[in-house]
Amino acid sequence: MPLAFMSQKSILSMIFFVCLQVQQYLEPFQLSEANLRDVSARLSKDLDLGLGKNTHHRAAVKMLPTFVRATPDGTEKGDFLALDLGGTNFRVLHVRVVEEEQKVLKMDSQICAIPKEMMLGTGEQLFDHIAACLGDFLISQNLKGQTLPLGFTFSFPCEQKEIDKSILIRWTKGFNCSGVEGKDVVKLLKEAIRRRGDYDIGSVAMVNDTVGTMMSCGYKDQSCEIGMIIGTGTNACYMEEMRNVRRVEGEDGRMCINTEWGGFGDDGSLKDIQTEFDVVVDKTSINPGVHIFEKMISGMYLGEIVRLLLVRLAENKLLFKGQTSEALRTPGTFETKQVSGLENTQIILTKLGLKWNSVDCGVVRLVCDTISSRSADLCAAALATITNRIRTNRKLARLKTTVGVDGTVYRKHPKFSEKLRATVRRLAPECDITFLVSEDGSGKGAAMVTAVALRLAHQSRLLEDSDGEVREEEKDK
């Protein structure tokens, strides 16, 4: 009987029957709590490897020191510049930190394009272009003549040596400027500004986007000491005890560590939970064998996992009466935003050239929910690893902390954040976790990193001065 003539109850019964058959394909994506605890335990070992002085070079999870030594304490204030470079456009921002209201205000911003030929030209050309755009922005904001500190978000693989020294490891995202790899990008920026000679900048702080997320939220909530991004990619940072950061001298205090947890599993440690569809997604990506964890959960890949599953179900006559379409068979045509917004399932399936019915729509919805639920569960397992680690490090019976979070998957999927919070509560029951969505972490967060670095430097100078006075008094005696 055609579905148009069936009752709603009959259609629901048919969806239920088909979903039972589909379940065997979805089962590998449905991880038990025991599975997730096991994943968390594996990641915990990888964090130690990444922090180790003699083991970090072979660790899948790199645990990069950021040289950010504190989170905001609410006393930061002043005007700052922020520069956000990570693609074919870059942004310049003027940010004001207001102590009395504990607000980080974006006063204004400007987007500057980077021509294609400049992305493949010399490093000097690129940084001269950045310096020119920064100079134009200062004029437009009536800031010329002021020497403002600058937070620099440079979203390419770098090895950070100090808060103001970061060595480019390799270009990505279509850039291949000569004379930059292996060089300090802060030095290259300052040299370009010096070549102009018509303005100057103050101290510079290099900022990773996860750190920016944590710091932008940290001014609102001083218990924020974790930053997490779940968008096109995924990553997290957190405040680690210095005694555990073996690659950096010093035992006292804490330092923010950029985990680069997207690389979890690059050593094969997640093979047992990778499905055949995950393996295909990895093998057909531009970087096979790299960022395995990220490919199981982030926005760049979720839609493709769903597409591969839908093709398989259609081939096995569990969807679309066994028929596919050229669009559905084409990689990349099922976007992650469609995974998270299938209120318009029928429109999306029609655009893909598929002949569908109500049962098909129900099955597609189930597939999307299953894939996004696994993503949330795996993120929760990783986050639980970090919160449990912080609690153990500090020998606390109970930890109260805040996670600054950003990314389109977390922000826009209607059930993702709810699922993640529920799972992390089960995996880290001794941790009370608040989630705070970041507002412009790459801009405001970069300014906050700079503001905190200046505060710490000022406090250090005061301490040195007071120590000097004490020593002078002792000499007089």
Q: Is the pLDDT at 5 greater than 50, yes or no?
A: no
Distances in whole angstroms, Cα of residue 271 to Cα of each of 215, 266, 296:
34, 9, 11
Return the minimum-mean-pLDDT range out of 90-94, 130-134, 322-326, 359-363.
359-363
Pair (245, 186) in one structural domain: no
Q: Is the pLDDT at 6 greater than 60, yes or no?
A: no
CA pair distance 17, 181, nearest whole angstrom: 57
Pair (430, 448) in one structural domain: no
In a domain, 295, yes or no: yes
Give 440 or 209, the one with higher predicted confidence: 209
In a domain, 459, yes or no: no
What is the chain's mean pLDDT, rounded?
Answer: 89
In a domain, 461, yes or no: no
Q: Which domain holds residue 292?
A: 1-65+220-439
φ/ψ (deg, to 5) at 470: -65, -45
Q: What is the DSSP letter of 122?
A: B
CA pair distance 200, 319, nearest whole angstrom: 63
Q: Which amino acid is at 334?
A: F
CA pair distance 224, 70, nearest whole angstrom: 11
Instruction: Enter the pTM of the model.
Output: 0.87
Q: What is the DSSP letter of 334?
A: S
| Residue positions annotated with a catalytic role | 173, 209
CA of residue 284 relative to chain centroid, distance: 23
Quick: pLDDT tens for 257-267: 999 999 999 99
Round to the nearest angstrom and report the end-to-end CA distance of the chain: 104
The CATH number of the domain where 177 resides is what? 3.30.420.40
- 342 neighbors 348 (Cβ within 8 angstroms): yes
Closest listed residue to residue 363, CA positions, set 411, 413, 426, 321: 321
Pair (108, 244) in one structural domain: no
Closest listed residue to residue 373, CA positions, set 337, 411, 422: 422
Pair (179, 230) in one structural domain: no
Pair (366, 430) in one structural domain: yes
CA pair distance 407, 230, nearest whole angstrom: 5
Distances in whole angstroms, Cα of residue 38 to Cα of each of 29, 85, 213:
15, 37, 28
Pair (387, 245) in one structural domain: yes
In a domain, 233, yes or no: yes
Q: How confident is the model at residue 470 (pLDDT cuts 50, 70, 90)?
A: very low
Number of domains in the chain: 2
In a domain, 314, yes or no: yes
Pair (334, 403) in one structural domain: yes
Q: What is the DSSP string of 341-408?
A: -GGGHHHHHHHTT----HHHHHHHHHHHHHHHHHHHHHHHHHHHHHHHHHHHHTT-SSEEEEEEEE-H
- Locus of tokens 């710490």: 456
- 456 neighbors 69 (Cβ within 8 angstroms): yes
Q: How confident is the model at residue 129 (pLDDT cuts 50, 70, 90)?
A: very high
- 298 neighbors 231 (Cβ within 8 angstroms): yes
Whole-number pLDDT of residue 244: 96
The bridge status of strand 204-207 relative to strand 254-258 is: unpaired
